Amino acid sequence: MLEYIPKYGQRLADEVRRWGEWIKREAEEELSEFYPKDPDGATPIAYLWARTIQCEGPGCGAEVPLMRSLWLAKKGDGSVALRLLPNQRSRSVAFEIIRFAKPKDVGPGTIRRGAVTCPCCSYSTPVTSVRVQLESRKGGTADALLIAVRFDDPKSGQRSWRLPNKTDLKAAAAAAEELHGRIRQNKQRLSLVPDELLPPEGTLGFRIQRYGMLRWGDLFSARQALALTTLGRLVREARIACQPDLALAVRTNLALAVDRLADFNASLCVLNSVGGRGVVHVFGRQALPIVWDFMETNPFNTEAANWQTCFDVVDEVIAFEKHYTNSGHVEKADATNHPLPDDSAIAFITDPPYYDAVPYADLSDFFYVWLRRNLPTEYPDLLANPTTAKEDECIVDVVRGKDRQCFERKMGKAMAEGRRVLQPGGIAVVVFAHKSTAGWEAQLQAMIDAGWIMTGSWPIDTERPGRLRAQDSAALASSVHIVCRPRWIPDGSDRTDEVGDWRDVLAELPRRIHEWMPRLSAEGIVGADAIFSCLGPALEIFSRYSRVEKASGEQVTLREYLEQVWAAVAKEALNMIFEGADATGFEEDARLTAMWLWTLSTGNNGNGKRKLSEDDEEIDEEEDSGKPKKITGGYVLEYDAARKIAQGLGAHLEKLSTVVEVKGDTAHLLPVSERTRFLFGKDETQSPSSKRKKKEPQLKLGFMKEIEEIEIKDGWGTKSAPRAGSTVLDRLHQSMILFAAGRSEALKRFLVEEGAGNDQRFWRLAQALSALYPKSSDEKRWVDGVLARKKGLGF
């Protein structure tokens, strides 16, 4: 992008296309027998495979395919699913295709959270045994079971699913044989299929080693490896006949295209059944979790996830970028040891690693090991090592002994390096995103220590929409761009000795936030994005001094200041939520609830589709022993963030156990439906969360039953109304539940006779929450249902 496109522009695009097509013809011919067409001319687009285990049920031993779901395509009339046909006698499982499938026709998959339920004997083989079994088979990719084939029928123009036939199985077996022959005959310096080791078990984001995938080649089935190695060989063999430096650029792009295909053609690609869209690429998120049933694409299919799209994209990028004619210069260097001389740059723009969010170098190896094979002589320096360098990477990674202090030290050095190469009057932009306050504190500390003053901050959408899954809840839809200046004035006079007065700093903070928030809000920036986007202006006040002191002479730490910042932001946000109405009129629970929902909201910026709590539909995460179990449902925030927000509102999380549940390092705002028993029960001291622990977690809409019980017990079904709760929020939630349960008469009595509706705060809170609950949530419907009664009841 920086060197080749400005230099070669359209010529590069044309050559890449030309040679991409040449490779396609050659490879398609060479590999056609391994992707056979059907006798009627239909072509397989992709194949669905499942890893298998042997059921450990007493006397069973059935071979069980691991299927996280039986849906193949969920799109109305075109819905297709599988039905399991267990055969008790042969102890095996066959399949049947259900066309026009309705949810009631489709059973659950065989695996959930890593434990496998046998369709033959119903025994549940635990995740630990699943691991042992797959471990001995390098993850079980090589002997996975072919479950279904997605095909394209050119005659009818139809794309659909069928069961596999003998030809399919033979072709896959032949591909494996072909690959093994080629492995034996390989004369290259490096193994044909990458045999470099994955990072050690426990490495951030990696969840596949414990299933026996230890080398990068283990991530691919034989046919996938055959396709990738064939394409790679053709990239090396292409006699690209233009001037040598352009030819190098072309070959580099083609090698990158093979990498791109690897991302779509590995045994960690899941099926995306929603809308029947097929193959999901591996790096839908920046991690490598295990995938039980996987999609193998036919690289020559004409739909998607094929070789053609992998080199087409080069053309698209060039078309987009070709007006840049200023050629850049790219060099690999450690950010703590920059090749530029002092005071030489007018701008320093950096997108540093995000604390502990992504193991960049380890993940890069997925691509690097292929590049190294496909560009064997082109980049002797860049591709010298078997895998990418990890030592000097600036991230938090406990497995490698890199803790927060390490990160801060290293990041501090890198930021100081940026300061060194920048001219005194220059400007810097540091991009950062993190969902934890600790991540932010570490990054900002490093920047302040290095002598930067933050002067502004703005969130910019940097992620491709439609990611497989947003990161955890309250992940950012965007990265915050923090604008900085060296801590001295452009006229050259030094400011490094200035000491700030804590009282002045504290007095200025709320004013600054008050100015900044409406600007963000006017741009549709709300929630977590807005909170973090206030850091720039807030930190300008603090970072303009080399140190800030209290009257006692004690130095104020960044951490202490940030506590004040979160508080000021929370207060300001709350005022915006209640549109200037005095937010202090609401009790703690209402303030916290409103602020919580606001924090999780995305407004109309960003991809807007970010889910609040992830339901893991796409990937069945195995049981994770180390971490607290994921809380399902409700609205989840990092505990520390929740605590800071609460503090800013003068609320206390510990005292609010009737609305918030804390588990490990996450805090979860209880869904209204889960508060039923508390809200209508007699014993108000018993919080819903303490009850939840004793019982099975309540099912969604379990509250309908509860309402019935309570209604009968308390006898307000026909004449009276439930007793009003003690806070405005409780009363509003009660009303919402009555609405949801269809108790319209009781709701009326509750609002009018019990008097819940006489309190203006009730309606103001309802209004605010209506704007804050996610659009498609039950809560939103219910609160709107309550609001709709307002006029009619004369309020």
Ligand X SMILES: C[S@@+](CC[C@H](N)C(=O)[O-])C[C@H]1O[C@@H](n2cnc3c(N)ncnc32)[C@H](O)[C@@H]1O
Write out the residues near ligand X by the rule CB under 6 A.
334-336, 351-354, 360-361, 392-394
| CB nearer to Zn ion: pick between 60 and 246 | 60
Question: Whose CA is closest to 356, among 410, 394, 389?
Answer: 394
β-partners of residue 115 are 112
Work out what residue 527 binds among Zn ion, ligand X, none; the CB cut-off runs from 5 to 8 Å by kind. none
Sequence-ordered list of residues with C-beta below 8 angstroms from that of 719, at least 6 positions apart, any chain: none
R_g over Cα of the chain: 30
Query: What's the min distance (Å) between Cβ of 89 and Zn ion?
Result: 13
Query: What's the min distance (Å) between Cβ of 20 and ligand X?
Result: 23
Work out what residue 394 binds among ligand X, Zn ion, none; the CB cut-off runs from 5 to 8 Å by kind. ligand X
| CB nearer to ligand X: pick between 336 and 767 | 336
Cα distances (Å, whole numbers) of residue 264 to 267, 362, 431, 769: 9, 19, 29, 42
Per the structure block, which two tokens stand in for 582?
A: 């005095």
β-partners of residue 380 are none
Structural contact between residues 763 and 586, judged by C-beta atoms closer than 8 angstroms: no
- Provide the residue count of the chain: 795
Work out what residue 16 binds among Zn ion, ligand X, none; the CB cut-off runs from 5 to 8 Å by kind. none
Work out what residue 354 binds among Zn ion, ligand X, none; the CB cut-off runs from 5 to 8 Å by kind. ligand X
Sequence-ordered list of residues with C-beta below 8 angstroms from that of 695, at least 6 positions apart, any chain: none
Work out what residue 351 binds among Zn ion, ligand X, none; the CB cut-off runs from 5 to 8 Å by kind. ligand X
Structural contact between residues 69 and 78, judged by C-beta atoms closer than 8 angstroms: no
Structural contact between residues 287 and 206, judged by C-beta atoms closer than 8 angstroms: yes
| CB nearer to ligand X: pick between 111 and 411 | 411
| CB nearer to Zn ion: pick between 62 and 82 | 62
| CB nearer to ligand X: pick between 354 and 366 | 354
Sequence-ordered list of residues with C-beta below 8 angstroms from that of 389, at least 6 positions apart, any chain: 361
745-766 residues labelled b (16+ CB within 10 A) or e (exposed):
ebbbbbbbebebbeeebbbbbb
Work out what residue 421 binds among Zn ion, ligand X, none; the CB cut-off runs from 5 to 8 Å by kind. none
Note the residues at the interface with Zn ion (CB under 5 A).
Answer: 55, 57, 60, 62, 118, 120-121, 123
- Count of Cβ atoms closer than 10 Å to residue 70 Cβ: 21
What is the DSSP-derived secondary structure letter of residue 464?
Answer: P
Query: What's the min distance (Å) between Cβ of 461 and ligand X?
Result: 13
> Residue type for 564, please?
Q
| CB nearer to ligand X: pick between 394 and 651 | 394
| CB nearer to Zn ion: pick between 121 and 484 | 121
| CB nearer to ligand X: pick between 1 and 788 | 1
Work out what residue 118 binds among Zn ion, ligand X, none; the CB cut-off runs from 5 to 8 Å by kind. Zn ion
Query: What's the min distance (Å) between Cβ of 334 and ligand X?
Result: 5
- Count of Cβ atoms closer than 10 Å to residue 302 Cβ: 12
Work out what residue 120 binds among Zn ion, ligand X, none; the CB cut-off runs from 5 to 8 Å by kind. Zn ion
Query: What's the min distance (Å) between Cβ of 30 and ligand X?
Result: 33
- Count of Cβ atoms closer than 10 Å to residue 654 Cβ: 9
Query: What's the min distance (Å) between Cβ of 58 and Zn ion?
Result: 9
- Count of Cβ atoms closer than 10 Å to residue 132 Cβ: 14
Query: What's the min distance (Å) between Cβ of 410 and ligand X?
Result: 6
Query: What's the min distance (Å) between Cβ of 22 and ligand X?
Result: 29
Work out what residue 353 binds among ligand X, Zn ion, none; the CB cut-off runs from 5 to 8 Å by kind. ligand X
| CB nearer to ligand X: pick between 132 and 399 | 399
Dihedrals phi, psi of 80, to nearest 5 degrees: -135, 140
Query: What's the min distance (Å) between Cβ of 438 and ligand X?
Result: 17
Query: What's the min distance (Å) between Cβ of 335 and ligand X?
Result: 3
| CB nearer to Zn ion: pick between 55 and 446 | 55
Dihedrals phi, psi of 490, to nearest 5 degrees: -55, -25
Structural contact between residues 618 and 468, judged by C-beta atoms closer than 8 angstroms: yes
